Amino acid sequence: MARHLITSAIPYINGIKHLGNLVGSQLPADLYARYLRDRGHEVLFLCATDEHGTPAEIAAQKAGKPVAEYCEEMHAVQAEIAEGFGLSFDHFGRSSSDRNKALTQHFAARLDAAGLIREVSERQMYSNADGRFLPDRYIEGTCPNCGFESARGDQCDNCTKQLDPVDLIDPRSTISGSTDLEMRETKHLYLRQSAMKDELSDWIDRQADWPVLTTSIARKWLHDGDGLQDRGITRDLDWGVPVQKGDQPWPGMEGKVFYVWFDAPIEYIASAQEWVDAGKGDDWERWWRTDRGADDVRYTQFMGKDNVPFHTLGFPVTILGSGEPWKLVDYIKSFNYLNYDGGQFSTSRGRGVFQDQALEILPADYWRWWLLSRAPESGDSEFTWEGFQDGVNKDLADVLGNFVSRVTKFCRSKFGETVPEGGEWGAREHALAEDLTRRVAAYARHMDAIEVRKAAAELRGIWVAGNEYLQAAAPWATFKTDPEIAAMQVRLGLNLIRLYAALSEPFIPFAARAMAGAMRTDLGWPDDVTGALGALPPGHAFTVPEVLFAKITDEQRADWAARFAGTRA
C-alpha cells in the first residue's frame, strides 16, 4: 500500500463554474483518488476555493455584499456542488483561511532571506474611470504575440505567452471597459524566478513520464523569448494576504497584499493544516514535510493547461527557494479545454452548461461518465448535446443499465430474488472469466497511468463483454430446456453486476453504490476476477434496482440545446 497526495487546481470564488472547469481538474482528480482508495492505498485528496484578488472584490461588489461575506457564501455553494458531483475531497479548504495567511507570509520571509525577492519601483496601469490600479487580470487587449483580442494583462489564453499589461495593444479595463488608462508609479515585490531557472529546468527535464502538454508549456515559459522572467507577487488591493515578513511589517509595502497566484498554491499545504484543524486528520506534516515522512508520498496535481506555468515554475520556486524540506509534486496531469458547441462557455452570455444547472437536469453520473470518457487529454474536446445524448444512451442506458435490468428481472421472474445455484461453468463462462481478467488488468494499467479516456474505453469494454455473454448464453431460452444451466448463467450475471459496481465506482459512484446495494454487497476491488465472479453464493438475496440510467429523449436534447445556447457574440 502506497500513500498518495492529490490536489486539484482550486477554482476561483467568483461564481459557479462550467463543465470545462470540472473536467479540467476536479473530476479527473476525484476519479484517481477513488481508484487509489479502492485499491487499498492511503489517499489525501485536497482542494479549496481561491478567494483573493480582484475577481472576488468585483464579484462581491456586483452582489452588493462585503467581500468576506460573499466568499463565505460562495464557498458553501461550491462545496455543495462538489458534493453533488460526488467529489470525494478529504478537505475542501479556503485560501482566505488564517492558515494560508500565516503560511504565505512565512514563505515570503524565507524567500526574502534567501535573496529571491527584490523590490521594484514600477509604473502600473491606473484606471481613471475606476479610480484604482488595475491588476493584470483586469486589463484586456490584443496580444502582441498572436493577435488574440482578449488577452489578459498577465497571460494570453490563446498562445499562453506570459505578458505584462504594458505589452497589450489597445488595453482596456475589464471592470468598466474604459480605455482611459495611465501609468502611475508604485512599488512591488518580485519573485526572482530567473535565479532559479537552471534548477527548475533540470527538475523539469527529469520528469520523463509527465504528459507532453505539461512539459511543453513549462519549457516554453522557461526558454522562449527572453526566458523565465521575474514575477510580481504583490498587488495594490484591499482583499488578500497582507504583505508581511511572517508576523512583522514589510517596510514600504503597507496596504498591499500578495498576488493571488503567489498565495493560492500555498493553500494546498494550508488545506492539509485545515484538514487537521477540522478533526479529519491528525498529522499534516507526514504529507507535506519530507523530514516528517512525506518522502514516501507520491504527489499528483490535476489542472487545466492555463494553470501549468504557475505549478511548474512559480510554486516550485516558492517551495525550492524556501530552503525547507517541503514535498514537491511528482506528477502533473494537465488537460486541454472543453469547448461548448462550436465556441466557448460564457457566463456573461449565458452560453453553456454550468455545474449547478447540470445537476438540476440530470444526476451526476450522467455528467461524470460523459465528461471523463471524453476528457480533453490529447487536445481540446467539445460538448455537443447530440454527442452527450448519444454517449449517455449507448454507454450507460443500452450497455450497463440494460444489462443490470435484464439479469435482475429475469432472475426474479424465474428463480426469485436470491442467487440461484445451477450447474457448473462451461467453456463459455471460463472464456469470459479469462477475457475479463485481461480487461481488468488493462483497465488498472490505464488508471495507474491516469490515462482517463483509455480507462473509460476499457471499462465500457468490460460492460460490453457481459452483454455479449448474456446475449450468447440466452438464459431465457436455455431455461426452457435446461433450467440448471440457465440458473448458472443468471448466477454469473448477478456476480457480473457486483463486479461492474466495484470497477465502475471511480467513474459513476452513485450508480455503483446502487448496484452494490441491490446486490446487498460491499464494493471492493477484484484482485482475483475469477473469484469475484463467484463471490455472491447461491441463496444470497438481492433486489431489483430502479432504472439506473434513463435515456435522453430527442425532446429533452432539443429543449436543453435551446435553453443553454445563450447569445452569440
Taking residue 74's Cβ as centre, other Cβ atoms within 10 Å add up to 23
Cα(362)–Cα(84) distance, rounded to whole angstroms? 11
Identify the pLDDT of residue 376: 96
pLDDT in tens, 531-540: 999 999 999 9
Q: How far from the centroid of its chain's Cα atoms is residue 185's Cα?
A: 40
Identify the pLDDT of residue 569: 39
Identify the pLDDT of residue 135: 78
Identify the pLDDT of residue 567: 59
What domains sit in the chain, N to C, each tagged with a CATH number?
385-532 (1.10.730.10)
CA distance to 93, 408, 483, per residue, from 414 (Å): 52, 10, 9
Strand partners, 169: 142
Q: Is 47 annotated as a binding residue?
A: no
pLDDT in tens, 226-268: 778 999 999 988 899 999 987 888 999 998 999 999 999 999 9
For 126-182, the DSSP string reads EETTTTEEPPGGGEEEE-TTT--TTEESSB-TTT--B--GGGSEEEEETTT----EE
Identify the pLDDT of residue 53: 87
Cα(25)–Cα(37) distance, rounded to whole angstroms? 18
Q: Is 347 annotated as a binding residue?
A: yes
Scanning the structure block, which residue is given the C-alpha cell 498529522?
Answer: 283
Beta pairing, strands 244-245 & 331-335: unpaired
Cα(487)–Cα(476) distance, rounded to whole angstroms? 10
Percent of the chain surpassing pLDDT 70: 99
State the pTM of this model: 0.92
- Write out the three cell numbers for 59: 464579484
CA distance to 98, 187, 188, 499, per residue, from 249 (Å): 17, 15, 15, 60
CA distance to 128, 492, 542, per residue, from 537 (Å): 77, 10, 11
Identify the pLDDT of residue 136: 81
Q: Is 159 annotated as a binding residue?
A: yes
Q: pLDDT under 70 in the chain at which residues?
A: 348, 567-569
By CB atoms closer than 10 A (0-12, 13-18, 19+), residue 292 is middle
Q: Is 146 annotated as a binding residue?
A: yes
Residue 275 contacts by C-beta under 8 Å, 6 or more apart in sequence?
Answer: 44, 46, 90, 91, 93, 281, 284
Q: How far from the centroid of its chain's Cα atoms is residue 360's Cα?
A: 20
Cα(134)–Cα(509) distance, rounded to whole angstroms? 44
Identify the pLDDT of residue 531: 95
Cα(305)–Cα(196) distance, rounded to whole angstroms? 22
By CB atoms closer than 10 A (0-12, 13-18, 19+), residue 309 is buried
